[in-house]
Structure 1
Amino acid sequence: MSRGWTAQSCPATARPQTTASSRHEASYVIAVLEGRGVSREVGLAALDKDTRRVSLIQLADSPTYIKTLHQLHLHSPSIILVPDTFSSLIDTPMASGGKKASSTSVLVQCMIEEFDATVDPVMRKYWNDDAGLAFVNQLIVDDDERPATLVAVSSRYYALSAASALFKYAESKLNLRFAASSLLIQHAQAEGSMMIDPETARNLELVGSISFACLGKPSLLLNHTYTAMGARLLRANVLAPITEQSSIEACLDVVEELIQNGNRFDNVKNALKSLHNMDFNKLICSLAASEARETSTAKLAAARVAQMLSLRNIVKNIPVLAKALTGSRSRLLRIILDMISDKRLSRIEQLVSETLNEEEASAKRGLNAVNARVYAVKANYNRLLDVARETYKENVGDIFALNRELGGQHDLPLSLVYQDTGFVFALKKTDLQGELPRGFVNVTAQRNRWLFSSIELKKRNVCMKDALDETLIMSDKIIQELIAEIINVIGALYKASEAVAIVDMLWSFAHASILRDYVRPEFTGTLAIKAGRHPVLENVQAAGTLVPNDVYCCEASSFQIVQGPNMSGKSIYLRQIGLLTVMAMCGCFVPAEYGSFRLHDALLTRLSNDDDIEKSLSTFANEMAS
């Protein structure tokens, strides 16, 4: 059987693809297993390399594998794992003597053509459902959803087999090992979200240069999020809006409350600001994961200490958000308040406070950042650590004494700059007349200063670095003991991460709605929009120049033809309908005087994508202009 064409290889009237071609950097490792039966059962296990979240999916697909490709696109694969018996195009890794397939399955051919990702075969013996269930049972976080997840996946033969191969690959090839009860493993349903093909995502500009939910330009349209988790959730909802009306209405209730209650809006904004640039998911995954082949170095120790300092800041700031949500009337906000008021978070804060100093967040670079890691653990917690820190302090003092000595000897206002290799001397160019005195080496020029060293400074740097490494490694041992205790209650951090992401996304919707006077949509059996405005066009055109449009479509008129001359706005009109539908199903208000929508399980388009909204040029006018 031959495979359907893709949008890259033929006109878009062929088999539709399943997501936007412009998407964020691929970060998932996905194991895919196809059944040999008539029903075309496909199991997927997806591991996010950045956040270490795992999704298990099993579905019955069509001969063109549209549902499987849609799920793969949503998870942005960088590596796709398949059984070695499924492909003859690639060599078998992970073990010698693996069988080589005589032919390549249609699904593997589809994935090779569709994705710019590495396709790695894994020996068939590692695709074992019993081993997969054992992995899931061992690694899944111990929270309220654990029993339901285990029951849901226990009968998913193909998803569990894919999970077995995925975790085996992570250990042998990615050098990753996870602590028991530390991973957020979810059974993801293939249904429950609207499928958007890649041509539609591109035509509606859901992602891209003037993106509807552009992660790189938070000033545009909907994305006013403060946290990485909120931005990721926003992108996921825009590319696959939910189809459950009760869930959509719950989101709309939150947006409405934030719009109507100015104090709550401002309090939530300030709370989210305190969590700005904090990525809970990456922090949690760094706590849960370790190297399968341990390498204890000062660099890794410094990273773990920095992670624990970030955790300290997170658990200190979450109560600020809880206070901002206290007294909320919408049910979803009350649920979120319960999630971030978990007593286990207080336990984590207590553990961290007993071990780490209470200073504010450290600088990201330079000597201040190093000192924050050196003195992260409280004094008198470990006597040997105190001795190592004192040695480090004396070595740094010796380097500053050398700086004063040489500055006085040569009558130069020398200063010290800390780099990864240690300290170097710095001198403003305006303070140097002629050449540097003899004895200085490794002279380099920067914009307004000279950087250089000396033999004696290099010697003292070596002593300082030795003391620093010893201090960090000893601190790391204490941190690892702390991590072992925190992992027992890590489920509270996963819940807090999800809660903050939801609040951040919905606050972003409320912010966009206030800025542009959006209204709350309704969900009925009729598509009816009064004075609807294209959200992207409204953002780039001068106020008062945009012409609103009405839309009406019901069972009696479900098929309509829109006609008009070039530059009359036919494509913009169609895109406006699609965008407003996506916004409404994401739980956001819409740019209109009134909006009534239907729930859809798919959104497919065939539109020319050569017009230029910012210059008000249609496809025809753009061709003439060029």
Structure 2
Amino acid sequence: MAAYTPMIQQYLTVKADYQDAFLFFRLGDFYEMFFDDAIKASQELEITLTSRQGGTEERIPMCGVPYHAAANYVEQLISKGYKVAICEQVEDPKLTKGMVKREVVQLITPGTVMEGKGLNDKENNYIASITSFDDQTYGFAYNDISTGESRVTLLSKNFDEVLNELAVLSAKEVVVASSFDGELQKKLRERDVLAISFEDNSSIDMNYSHLLKDLNQEKLKTAIARLFNYLYRSQKRSLDHLQPVTTYQIHQYMKIDYYSKRNLELTETIRSKGKKGSLLWLLDETMTAMGGRMLKHWIDRPLINQKEIESRQSIVEVLMSYYFERQELREKLKEVYDLERLAGRVAFGNINARDLVQLKRSLMQVPFLQQILQGMKNDKVNQMAELLDPCEEITDLLEQAIVENPPLSLKEGNMIRDGYNAQLDQYRDASRNGKTWIAQLEREEREKTGIKSLKVGYNRVFGYYIEITRANLHLLAEGQYERKQTLSNAERFITPDLKEKEALILQAEEKCGELEYELFTEIREIVKEQIPRLQALAKTISELDVLQCFAQVSEDRHYVKPQFSMEGRVVVTDGRHPVVEKVLNAQEYVPNDCIMDFDREVLLITGPNMSGKSTYMRQIALIAILAQIGCYVPATEAVLPIFDQVFTRIGAADDLISGQSTFMVEMLEAKNAISNATQNSLILFDEIGRGTSTYDGMALAQAIIEYIHTQIGAKTLFSTHYHELTVLDEELTKLKNIHVSAIEHQGKVVFLHKIKEGPADKSYGIHVAQLAGLPSDLISRANEILTALEQSDTQQAAPKTEAVKVESVQEQPAQLSFFDEPKGVKKQDLSSKEKRVIDKMKELDILDLTPLQAINMLYELQKKLK
């Protein structure tokens, strides 16, 4: 260290505490970076890498960015998952003889962004923390520092629940202890978490202890304390906008795991990873940023409490019946800015005068919103009107204090209204009168000297001056002015009167700027005291915005109010896929019914590719989700149970990061559903078993269907091209066959997209290939091969392929592992195919069968399929 210059020594001392962040080290008008930071930043930001002498023989790598433009560079680094420590001068250089003291004043990370392009208006920016306890449970807490929202829960020993919560939140950063398990950290990185940070202090601090008063478990307090300690340590400023911490349990909401959320494209599409084409895109008719964020939250966490769902429905129903009032409501909501984040910036200290004007304009809309709601003559809507707090004191203060169009910078002045402060008015009067005197002086001196080009000017270095061009200097009398500055083509002068007036004007302007800033900070502190009121108002407006959004979409798209069945019945008449219906525009979407009850728990769906099987399955899930967030649904009638969970296996995708094949991903998703589903769940399985050999796949598919039917009893839609499975309805009493109809016309297939009872007779695969535009020679050859295979199959196969009936067998003890050798069956008695199927089931661990059941089932199945 001693070999470096004092400045580099200071840099290295500060950098030692921020090894995982870029250190923006303030030197004059630039933030400088050195050593490895400089090399990496020059690459990431595409800025010039230079070097400087640092006290040693080797030159030190260096790069920098202007401090006034630093925000753009910080945003670029944060968007790539990096952290940036802002190191400022904390002493006045004019008052310091030696090295100016510098300290990190803020650590900006992906999860602690407060402003700028890094924040999406209609998305929360969550940072989460995970605390592992001795009993192998996990404390899970999260916060959006821009809004102050904080929640905490306890999760089971299964780390997948933690991963699922992170996926639901789209958390940008995770805070853990430095001793947190390395394998689990690897899993976090695989889930696209931008940053992992460390905080070992989980003790409660007085700064935020009042926010934890509603937490009744020490584990919950410890979990949120770790997160808060990290926030206070990294942000180094007031976080008075943090709201009281609320608890939640994941079983309070419909559980939709990471895979199902992705497969159903609830908030983003699989291909583009964007919002367009998702359910969120379809629904988002919100008029405010905070309403948009709440809509996403509701989609991520549908309700399972029927009373709460019906409460939302009732308000949607009222809003639909008052069309003109709803349109007026939407117009007023459009004028409401982001109250949640404005309140956060007030507490954070980075709010400006324009933000306060936005706050005032937003609050001015509240009385109009109240008036509109009160005119709807409904108790629940009227109660919501009463919750809208106009915060008149804040509105009046901002109206009296802040000009309508203030400058962006707080240092420019001219943001406080005339008449708000008497002292400020005096300074302004002195400054304005002085400038009037200057203008008068210019006119008088032109007349005295006869020099029409004479001008009185000002700059920050020399102050006020009289400027005369060299060509006119001969018109001045000797000693008429005092020379101040010589230019190439002019001279600048000053007079005693001008000097005196200059002192008066500059003193008034300096004091005016200082007083304006003091007054602004006073106003900000007054507003800060009202943050809880502003946050409560923001929450009510957000809910109102989402509910009017539901009413708007439901009316525009002809949705109906769903009813709920306590008997587990599903009766959907003329159901439609909401997103596909919108995308089709003028094209007619073919609606379909869905009937499920105690006698129809599993629907086995057959039919051609491209005929609409996957769309039909997805639409049932989306209708259920829409119903449970309180929205109307795309159908002419809908009676639904309240589902506790939705599981899907739709589509094919490799998980390359984890090194898992398409088939492995398929089996893992199947395992997740089978392991966690209850009789109150909804399962959608599309083409299970297609990623392996025919017999393997068919065996797995049948075993999964039988297990769901017999062991779980969940409402299940199972689509397949294994037509041999359609005979399962003869053995499984609660399974029914349905199919998507298609007809052949002049050698071409015509998809009718209509669901009908019974199994399909064929898959039309070659017809679909023809529609895709494969070469005609290839299509002809495929038909020849198909004919030959069908003839061969007819000659060799039994007249009818029956479903396997698993006879009742003597069970092994419940503790017996799936991998144990069962009694009565020896491995050498099994064929290679049987061994292969059993090994695959063993590898994937997807069925909770005793070994004897599994082998008997597969043995019998293989005999039949041969």
TM over 0.5: yes
Q: Output the CA distance in 2 between the equivalents of 1:529 and 1:261.
A: 27
Aligned residues: 482
**Which one has more relative contact order, counting CA pairs under 8 Å at least 6 apart?**
1
Change over 3 Å in CA distance of 1:396–1:188 after alignment to 2:
farther
Is the Cα contact below 8 Å between 1:356 and 1:377 reproduced in 2? Answer: yes
CA distance in 2, matches of 1:586, 1:396: 63
For 1:127, which of 188, 202, 223 is the aligned residue?
Answer: 202
Q: CA deviation at 1:353?
A: 3.5
Q: Residue type matched to 1:602 in 2?
A: Q
Shift of the 542–166 alpha-carbon distance from structure 1 to 2, 3 Å rule, reads closer
Counterparts of 1:255-294 in structure 2 under 5 Å? 255-275=316-336, 278-290=337-349
| Aligned residue among 6, 23, 29 for 2:127 | 29
Residue 25 (structure 1) shift = 7.0
Q: Check the 8 A contact 1:519/1:592 in 2, yes or no.
A: yes
**Is 1:175–2:236 an aligned residue pair?**
yes
Tell me the amino acid that sits aligned with residue 268 of structure 1: L
* C-alpha distance after superposition, 1:94-144 (max 9, x if no partner): xxxxxxxxxx3x543432332332111223xx112xx15x44434x4xxxx
Deviations 1:367-395 (A, max 9, x none): 7x679984442323334534665688799
Q: Alpha carbons of 1:41 and 1:622: their partners in 2 closer, same or farther (altered >3 Å)?
A: farther
Q: How far off is 1:285 after superposition? A: 0.5
1:516 maps to which of 544, 557, 567 = 557
CA distance in 2, matches of 1:314, 1:395: 39
**In the alignment, which of 170, 188, 194 is matched to residue 254 of structure 2?**
194
Q: Deviations 1:24-61 (Å, cap 9, x if unpaired)? A: 87722222111111xx3322232213223222x22241
**Aligned residue type for 1:607:** I
Letter in 2 for 1:34: S
- The answer to whether the 8 Å contact 2:569/2:641 transfers is yes
Matches within 5 A, 1:207-606: 207-208=267-268, 214=275, 220-275=281-336, 278-290=337-349, 303-341=351-389, 345-357=391-403, 359=404, 362=405, 374-386=413-425, 474-524=515-565, 525-543=568-586, 545-606=588-649
For residue 562 of structure 1, give the secondary structure of its aligned residue in structure 2.
Answer: strand
* Structure 1 residues 286-339: Cα deviation after superposition (integer angstroms, max 9, x where no partner): 11224xxxxxxxxx5xx4322222221121111111111114344542332121
Match of 1:79 among 162, 165, 173: 173
Change (3 A) 1:192 1:377: same
Q: CA deviation at 1:586?
A: 1.2
Aligned to 1:449: none
Letter in structure 1 aligned against 2:343? I
Deviation string for 1:489-519 (max 9, x for gaps)? 3222111101111111111111111111111
Cα distance in 2 for partners of 1:482, 1:587 equals 41
Give the Cα separation in 2 of the matches to 1:555 and 1:216: 34
> Greater CA deviation, 330-339 or 77-86?
330-339
- Secondary structure, aligned partner of 2:635: coil
Q: Which amino acid aligns with 1:605?
A: T
User: Given that residues 374 and 472 in structure 1 are in contact (C-alpha distance below 8 angstroms), is that contact kept between their aligned partners in structure 2?
Assistant: yes
| Higher mean C-alpha displacement, 112-121 vs 512-521 | 112-121
**Structure 1 contact 340–496 (Cα < 8 Å) conserved:** yes
Task: Verify the 8 A CA contact 2:268 2:277 in the aligned structure 1.
Answer: no
**CA spacing shift, 1:310–1:26, aligned 2, 3 Å:** closer
Asked which structure has the greater CA Rg, the reply is: 2
Aligned to 1:44: 140
Q: Percent identity?
A: 24
What's the offset of the Cα at 1:621? 6.2
Distance 1:604 1:336 in 2: 35
Give the SS at the match of 1:379.
Answer: coil
Is the partner of 1:604 in helix, strand or coil? Answer: strand
Bigger mean CA deviation after superposition, 191-200 or 214-223: 214-223
Pairwise CA distance, 1:182: 5.5
AA partner of residue 611 (structure 2): S
Summarize the Cα distance change of 1:557–1:185 in structure 2 as closer, same or farther, 3 Å threshold. Answer: same
- Aligned-partner SS, 1:591: coil
1:118 is matched with which residue?
Answer: 195
Task: Point out where structure 1 has 5 or more consecutive residues left out of the alignment.
Answer: 1-22, 88-103, 141-148, 291-299, 402-454, 457-462
TM-score by length of 2: 0.50
* Residues 1:28 and 1:347: Cα distance change in structure 2 (over 3 Å): same
CA distance in structure 2 between the aligned counterparts of 1:329 and 1:583, rounded to whole angstroms:
27
C-alpha contact (below 8 Å) 2:310/2:630 kept by paired residues: yes
Letter of the 1:173 partner, please give it: S
1:58 corresponds to which residue? Answer: 153
1:510-534 CA-partner distances (Å, limit 9, x unpaired): 1111111111111113111001111
Distance 1:78 1:395 in 2: 54
Letter in 1 for 2:424: L
Change in CA separation of 1:122 and 1:341 when aligned onto 2, cut-off 3 Å:
closer
CA pair 234-583 structure 1, distance change in 2 beyond 3 A: same
Distance 1:465 1:245 in 2: 69
Q: 1:283 to 1:604 in 2, by over 3 A?
A: same
Q: Is the 8 A contact 1:221 1:535 kept in 2?
A: yes
The verdict on how the C-alpha distance between 1:382 and 1:542 changes in structure 2, with shifts beyond 3 A counting, is closer
- Contact 1:82-1:120 at 8 Å conserved across structures: yes
On the 8 A contact 1:80/1:118 being kept in 2, the answer is yes
Q: How far apart in 1 are the matches of 2:168 and 2:234? A: 24
- 2:153 alignment partner AA: Q
Q: Please state how far the C-alpha of 1:467 moved relative to its aligned partner.
A: 9.3
> For residues 419-447 of structure 1, what are the alpha-carbon distances to aligned partners after superposition, in whole Å with 9 as ceiling and x for unaligned?
xxxxxxxxxxxxxxxxxxxxxxxxxxxxx
Number of the residue aligned with 2:33:
none
How far apart are the structure 2 equivalents of 1:473 and 1:385? 10
RMSD (Å), alpha carbons: 4.1
Distance in structure 2 (CA, Å) of the matches to 1:120 and 1:184: 24
How far is the alpha carbon of 1:204 from its aligned partner?
A: 2.0
Structure 2 gap segments, 5+ residues each: 1-119, 441-489, 492-502, 654-685, 687-751, 754-763, 775-866
CA distance in 1, matches of 2:202, 2:356: 36
Separation (CA, whole Å) in 1 of partners of 2:168 and 2:431? 49
Shift of 1:549: 0.2
Change (3 A) 1:218 1:161: closer
Distance (Å, rounded) in 2 between the aligned partners of 1:590 and 1:522: 10
Measured in 2, the distance between the counterparts of 1:533 and 1:466 equals 72
In 2: Cα distance, 1:48 partner to 1:271 partner: 27
1:323–1:623 Cα change, 3 Å:
same
Contact 2:124 2:144 (8 Å CA) reproduced = no
Report how far residue 564 of structure 1 moved: 0.7
Asked if the contact 1:281/1:494 (under 8 Å) is kept, the reply is yes
Q: Distance in 1 between matches of 2:437 and 2:574?
A: 73
User: Deviation of residue 216 (structure 1)?
Assistant: 10
